[in-house]
Amino acid sequence: MSLAAGEISLQKIHVICWFYLLAICLASCLYGAWQFAWSALAGGVVSVLSFTAAQRDVLAFIGPLAGEDEGTDSARRLIKQGKTGFLIKFWLRLLVIGIILLVLIKYLRVNIFGLILGLSTVVLAITHTAFGMVFSYLIKRR
């Protein structure tokens, strides 16, 4: 699988995330559950933005390593610096998400079930994409 194909798949997952989030919010609004829709929107935005940041961090971590020979000292140093930076960004992102969720739950009084559904949009999109790939492989033999 080439890098371009991976990027297309990630772009597809992003589009599916936003589609699921829009569908959840519209269905909630039509049903009349405005607080549920707001909560799902808040959770979905947090989830998709976190997914986007994680994608950017992983690509930034892997990019410089692609051309290096792992046996050289510079490659080992680059790998160690990349790991450290990646882990720091991961924990900072997790801390920021925790603070955002704390503010949403404690001060903005969001609907917990809507928030959880919104936070699940990335999982739903990845699952949708995975089933689509399996279907394409098994049924269409591509």
Q: Which amino acid is at 92?
A: L
Mean pLDDT of 28-40: 90
The tally of domains found in the chain comes to: 1
Comparing 76 with 90, the larger pLDDT belongs to: 90
Is a pLDDT exceeding 50 seen at residue 2? no
Sorting pLDDT into bands at 50, 70 and 90, what band is 39?
very high
Comparing 77 with 41, the larger pLDDT belongs to: 41
Averaged confidence pLDDT in the chain: 84
pLDDT for 3: 43
pLDDT for 5: 46
Sorting pLDDT into bands at 50, 70 and 90, what band is 11?
confident
Q: What is the DSSP string of the chain?
A: --HHHHHHHHHHHHHHHHHHHHHHHHHHHHHT-HHHHHHHHHHHHHHHHHHHHHHHHHHHHHGGGTTS-TTSHHHHHHHHHHHHHHHHHHHHHHHHHHHHHHHHHHTS---HHHHHHHHTHHHHHHHHHHHHHHHHHHTS--
The domain of 102 spans 3-138
Mean pLDDT of 108-123: 94
Comparing 10 with 42, the larger pLDDT belongs to: 42
pLDDT digits (tens, 9 = 90+) for 60-84: 877 766 665 556 666 667 677 777 8
Q: Which amino acid is at 84?
A: T
Mean pLDDT of 97-102: 96
CA-CA distance, 37 to 90, in Å (whole number)?
A: 28
**Helix 112-119 and helix 73-106, axial crossing angle in degrees, nearest 10:** 160
Taking residue 117's Cβ as centre, other Cβ atoms within 10 Å add up to: 21
